[in-house]
Amino acid sequence: MAMFQTLPGFRDFYPEDLAKRNHIFRIWRQTAAAFGFVEYDTPVLEPLDLYRAKSGDEIEAQLFSFTDKGKREVALRPEMTPSVCRLVGERAGSLKRPIKWFSIAEFYRYERMQKGRGRCFFQFNADIFGEAGPEAEIELIALQIQCMRAFGLTPDDFCIRLSDRNLWFHFLGSLGLDEEKIRALLGAVDKFERNGDAAFKGYEERFGPLDPATKARVLSFLAIRSFDEIESALGAGASPAITARLADWRKLLGGLSAMGLSAFVQVDLGVVRGLAYYTGFVFEAFDRKGELRALAGGGRYDDLVGKLGGSDLPAVGFAIGDMTFALLLDERGLTPVVSQAPDVYCVIGGEAERKSAFADILALRAIGYRVDYPMKEVAFGKQFKAAVESGAKVALIYGSEELARGVVKLRDLGDRSEQEFPAAAVAESVLAFFSGP
């Protein structure tokens, strides 16, 4: 029993765990780069006010926050958005647009542990700044899909539910509700899927009973699952603002369709995301079976950079969390098996032979091969067993007989065939062996 445990909700990564994590990150990085996104990073520790400014005081309960030795109130970052808003806000005037940035970083939230949720977790974040039109959403939704597809996940495994807080604002505004009521009602819509009718309780406690006709219209609006339904609900006699918004929808859906991604996208106005700062399209990825919490989520937040970074910049972004994503890969049997085996394992006769081997070992490693050998003098039989168990492709045999003849023997641990190389040209010979047919 270890003397110390990790803090609740924190994780150790043993080599095999870290290999899996790194493999996931590697694919996310490659994918983001393929989409033309560049990587950035920010401090883990930030001024507490950065998060207060965005989300208000009540958020403090879920922050790892404390006062540092300089009497500054600080917090471990619970998300990337405020930090990245600061970065782009500071240089908004000099950055080429569109600004396409991504990061892979660890975050901390003081919450109760649950399946797919801990107190520390990693997120892949991607954002586009400086593009106000739905072209940015096309790019980001496509990236989000590819970040999951790249692991072999299909439309049978997950889908992106697409909604629009802007449309909800127009719709509820047309019912005569003011902004405060609209925001409260969107909170109810967000909870409706989970809590049913009880979701409206908070609204009604604050503003009184919701007019039944209005409620009926809200319920039928949040049940919308296709663009056709949106059009028939709003299209006839719509205001210019709604007409323009419907054009944005057509552009977004058309773009995703042209990319061949329609099967991954589900229009679903029941998703509005709880966050008040989202201003337009919002999208959330779920597993198809509905067994896990959300895999990824994002949306447009056109007012936040101005609020946190000082310069007005339209923005869209999303994040994928590592925990739920890893659970989904496990469930589908898609967790990558990452080999950390050496390419070459050296079998060494004795101390004299060891000296001959060392020069070659270092030369091979310098070329980039993974090379291992026994630390101590052990029997040949054991060394061959160790070579096989290491997973190496070949064994290089430095025996006294071979070296006396000026050769080193290579044994293919797969087909058990052997060949000899001149002892003076081992690195070149191994290189030729591996690049040969």
Partner RNA sequence: GCGGUCAUAGCUCAGUUGGUUAGAGCACUAGAUUGUGAAUCUAGGGGUCGCGGGUUCGAGUCCCGUUGGCCGCCCCA
User: By the 8 A CB rule, do 50 and 83 touch?
Assistant: yes
Does residue 196 belong to the site contacting RNA (CB under 7 A)?
A: no
Residue 65 has φ and ψ, to the nearest 5°, of: -125, 155
Count of residues that bind RNA according to CB under 7 A: 51
Minimum distance from CB of 27 to RNA (Å)? 22
Q: Can you tell me which residue has the tokens 């719509």?
A: 238
Q: Which of residues 276-335 bind RNA (CB under 7 A)?
A: 293-294, 297, 319
234: helix, coil or strand? helix
Q: For RNA, which residue of 19, 40, 53, 62 counts as binding (CB under 7 A)?
A: 62
Task: Choose between 293 and 354: whose C-beta lies nearer to RNA.
Answer: 293
What are the CA-CA distances from residue 79 to residues 14, 54, 62, 84, 392 (Å)? 25, 11, 12, 10, 41
Task: Choose between 79 and 242: whose C-beta lies nearer to RNA.
Answer: 79
User: By the 8 A CB rule, do 279 and 166 touch?
Assistant: yes
Task: Choose between 233 and 292: whose C-beta lies nearer to RNA.
Answer: 292
Please tell me the distance from the alpha carbon of residue 212 to that of residue 432, in angstroms, as a whole number: 79
Does residue 63 belong to the site contacting RNA (CB under 7 A)?
A: yes
Residue 418 tokens read as 């052997």
Stretch touching RNA by CB under 7 A, among 108-116, 126-134, 176-184, 206-214 = 108-116
What's the DSSP call for residue 418? E
Q: For RNA, which residue of 24, 65, 79, 287 counts as binding (CB under 7 A)?
A: 79
What are the CA-CA distances from residue 433 to residues 374, 392, 394, 429, 436 (Å)? 23, 14, 10, 6, 5
Does residue 113 belong to the site contacting RNA (CB under 7 A)?
A: yes
Q: Strand 407-412's sheet: what is its strand order?
A: 371-372, 344-348, 394-398, 407-412, 418-422
User: By the 8 A CB rule, do 297 and 81 touch?
Assistant: no
Task: Choose between 183 and 251: whose C-beta lies nearer to RNA.
Answer: 183
Task: Choose between 253 and 278: whose C-beta lies nearer to RNA.
Answer: 278
Site map 6..45 versus RNA, x via CB under 7 A = --xx------------------------------------
Site map 335..374 versus RNA, x via CB under 7 A = --------------x-------------------------
The candidate with the shortest Cα–Cα distance to 125, out of 295, 257, 368, 298, is: 298
Minimum distance from CB of 114 to RNA (Å)? 5
Q: Tell me which residues touch RNA (CB under 7 A).
A: 1, 5, 8-9, 51, 55, 59, 62-63, 78-79, 81, 109, 111-115, 117, 191, 194-195, 273-275, 293-294, 297, 319, 349, 378-382, 384-385, 388-389, 397, 399-402, 409, 411-414, 416, 418
